[in-house]
Structures are given as structure tokens and as C-alpha cells.
Amino acid sequence: MSAQPAQPSPPAAPAYSPGLEGVIAGESAICQVNPEAGLLYRGYDVHDLAKHCTYEQVAYLLLMGGLPDATELARFRKELDAHRKLPEPVIGMLRLQPRGAHPMDVLRTGVSMLAGFDQDLSDNSHAANLRKSVRLIARVNTLAATAWRVMNGQEPAPQQPGLSHAADFLQQLNGKPAEDWVVRAMDVMLILYAEHDFNASTFAARVTASTLADIYAAVTAALAALKGPLHGGANEEAMKMLEELAKTPDADAWVAQRLARKEKIMGFGHRIYKKGDSRVATMRNLAKEIGPRVGQTQWVPACEALEAAMEKQKGLFANADLYAAPLFHMMGIATELNTPIFAAGRTAGWCAHITEQQDHNRLIRPKSLYNGVASRPLPPAVGRAR
């Protein structure tokens, strides 16, 4: 009798990981987050990019895979400029928003509405996605600034062609040119926020893109995910917390009380970084530079006192959202705009991921571990209402 061929054993069921911690959910060539506190965009250290490049160069790098030469950069900036203006009906929508609506909700609605104005909407080819990415990067910037003005009873600011992306945001927000140091600080913040691997909003964007929904749908999903205080919303909450902390001289006791109440301290902790967030050092140095310039030297020591207390009491380190909060504050930005600015920076990263996802697409569809009641019959008394 001939031996039966051995049956291959069924593949081991992947282990369940709450919050998908440690799960590799896809491949990407865009960004590398090193748990030991390093961050590379397309192989370049984010600190070098923040020091030597502009946001436009970084956005181009994320989208195209390499840094632009002078001609490519000039063309990219021209394209951004050409797409900054919002369609009139979108400005009309901003006027319809209820008083007190959160700028992130308005931004999300605005991006969703912009979809209908893009002639390439349903074309998910690489080339079309890149064209739409440029429009989105330009218009999310305009939308974040213009929404704030309109909701505060002001008219949209007139466009000033030729400005950098950072300068354009500030011009559209304030209706006048910003000082050079504010523009440079904004540029650094946009660069540091531009990309961060499979974070929650990027993953939401990739899941949406994987259904072959369009790039506007995917960015809208990303914006929805970014709003939450465990993600992008943390930079707004961190400022409120720092203002509250300013009323007490004892950061250690303040932290202890909050931890005892099982409250989260915003701007601390991270799923990947366990020894500190790679972006914090650059932000801390920037805050040290800006503080004396604007007569607000209190924020860096306040953050440092919090950092010491959190490390001692919980073994946790600051993330980018802690220092982003006082930085935006010192730049004269309203706290409710902290997360929309994060979104403006991250739009380049989201678009790069959506394009990458659709270039090599497979539907993202994990499964759940069912823990509900077992199969059961309907009770006899239940019948269709007549």
C-alpha cells in the first residue's frame, strides 16, 4: 500500500493583538519609525529635513520618492499656488457652519465637499492620485485657515501668489504677511507633522483607499481619525492642560493626582516609541528659541517639569503633541487650530500612503475574534408584526 501524502497542517491562526499592537499591517517605502526614537522620511532623517528643507521639498519627497531639483521644486510650488483657491460653494458651506463648530469638523466636511470639484475624482491611477495630492495639499492649507476666518466673522483673505506653503497658511489665516521667524517655525512644524508611518489616521486612509474609494474619501477618513484626543487631538488638549498646570507650582503633585484618577496626561506616551518621540528634541529646541522672542519663557520649563514627573511616576516620555501645543501658542495660533495644522502637514503623508496603497492594492479586511453569544434560535413569541 502506498503511503498517503502528508496533509499540510493548517496555518496557525494569527494571535489576537488588542489595538493591533505589534501587528504588521502592510508594507511601505515612505517612512520608518524607529522605536529607539528615530524617524526617516524616504530614508532621510527628519531632523536634517527640518533643518535644511522646506515643507514643499518634504511633501514632494514623500509623494515622489526623492527630493526635487530646483526646476522640479519651482514647478511643484507653482502647482500648489495654482490650486490654493477654494471653490465659491465651499466658502458658502463655511458660512453655513453653526457657531462653535470645531475646526476639525469643518475641515473634514470641506475636504469631503472638495471631492466633487475635482475632475480626476474617480481616476485612481498613480498619475491622477499625484495630481489630486497636490490639489489636496494646497487646499487643506487654505481650508484650515479660511474656515477659521469665516467662522470668526471675517472674510477669506486674498491670495498672495508666490508664498511658501507655511507663509501662505499664515497669510490666509491672518490676512497679512507673517514675520520670517513665524514662517520658519510653521515650516518646521509642518515638516515634523508631515508623516508618521501607519498611525491611526494614515491607517484609516489606507483602509478606505483599499476599497478603491477615491483619495478625497480616504483623506476625509483620515481627518475623522485625526480628531480624536488619543491621536491628533492631543495637541489641543495638551495646551489646555499646560494652561491648567500653570496655576500650580508643583508639577509632580499635579501629575500624581491625575494618574491617581486614571486620567491620561496629553502629549505623553506612544504606541511605537518607548524611549521618547524622535520629534520632541527639535520641537523643544525651537520652543527654547521662540520663548524669549515672544516673552513666554514659561512653557519649556513647564513641559520639562511634566516630563520629569511622568518619567519618574509612569516611565513615559513626551510625544510631539506636548511641545507642538506651546509652539503654536507662541506663534499666535488659536489652540483650536492645533489639530487642523497637524492635518495640513500630514496631508502629504496621507496622500503618499493612499497612492502607495492603490498602486499595490489589496483590500484591507482583518477579522474579529467573536466573543458574543453562541448561535441560538429566535424565541417562539417573536413573529413578524402584522
Q: Which residues are catalytic?
A: 231, 270, 321
Report the DSSP beta bridge partners of residue 268: 318
* 264 is a site residue for ligand COA (CB under 6 A): yes
d(CA 347, CA 61): 13
Compare residues 175 and 229 and give the one whose CB is closer to ligand COA.
Answer: 229
Q: Smallest distance, Å, CB 112 to ligand COA?
A: 24
Task: Work out which of 314, 335, 336, 364 binds ligand COA, going by CB under 6 A.
Answer: 314
Closest distance between ligand COA and the C-beta of residue 265, in Å?
4
Q: In what order do the strands lie in the sheet with 38-41?
A: 31-34, 38-41, 44-45
Residue 108 phi, psi dihedral angles, 5° rounding: -60, -45
Assess contact for 145 and 86: CB atoms under 8 A: no
> Hey, which residues between 196 and 235 contact ligand COA (CB under 6 A)?
230-231, 234
Spatial distance between the Cα atoms of 126 and 128, rounded to a whole number of angstroms: 6
Q: Where are the beta strands (DSSP E) in the chain?
A: 31-34, 38-41, 44-45
Q: How many residues bind ligand COA (CB under 6 A)?
A: 16
Q: Which one, 110 or 269, has the nearer CB to ligand COA? A: 269
Q: Is 267 in the site for ligand COA (CB under 6 A)?
A: yes
Residue 265 touches ligand COA, criterion: CB under 6 A: yes
Burial class (CB in 10 A: 0-12, 13-18, 19+), 17: exposed
* Contact call for residue 271 and ligand COA (CB under 6 A): yes
Stretch that binds ligand COA, among 2-10, 46-54, 83-91, 312-320 (CB under 6 A): 312-320
Q: In angstroms, rounded to a whole number, what is the distance separating the alpha carbons of residues 209 and 199?
A: 15
One residue of 42, 108, 131, 270 binding ligand COA per CB under 6 A:
270
b/e burial code for range 316-333 (CB count within 10 A of at least 16 → b): bbbbbbbbbbbbbbbbeb
Least separation, in Å, of the C-beta of 267 and ligand COA? Answer: 5
The interface with ligand COA within residues 106-135 (CB under 6 A) comprises none
308 sits near ligand COA (criterion: CB under 6 A)? no
Query: In this chain, which of 68, 269, 291, 345 binds ligand COA, going by CB under 6 A?
Result: 269
HSE-up (13 A, CA, CB side) for residue 74: 3
Comparing CA positions, the residue from 97, 102, 96, 91 lying closest to residue 335 is 102
Of 266, 300, 325, 330, which one interacts with ligand COA (CB under 6 A)? 266
Judged by DSSP in three states, 33 sits in strand
**Choice between 90 and 238, CB closer to ligand COA:** 238
321 binds ligand COA (CB under 6 A): yes
Footprint of ligand COA on 45-84 (CB under 6 A): none
CB of 3 to ligand COA, least distance (A): 50
Angle at 310 between CA 235 and CA 24, to 5 degrees: 65
Q: What whole-number distance in Å separates Cα of residue 27 and Cα of residue 167? A: 34
Q: Which residue is nearest to ligand COA (CB)?
A: 269
What would the x/- binding string for ligand COA be over residues 6 to 35, using CB under 6 A? -------------x----------------
Would you tell me which residues interact with ligand COA (CB under 6 A)?
19, 230-231, 234, 264-271, 314, 316, 319, 321
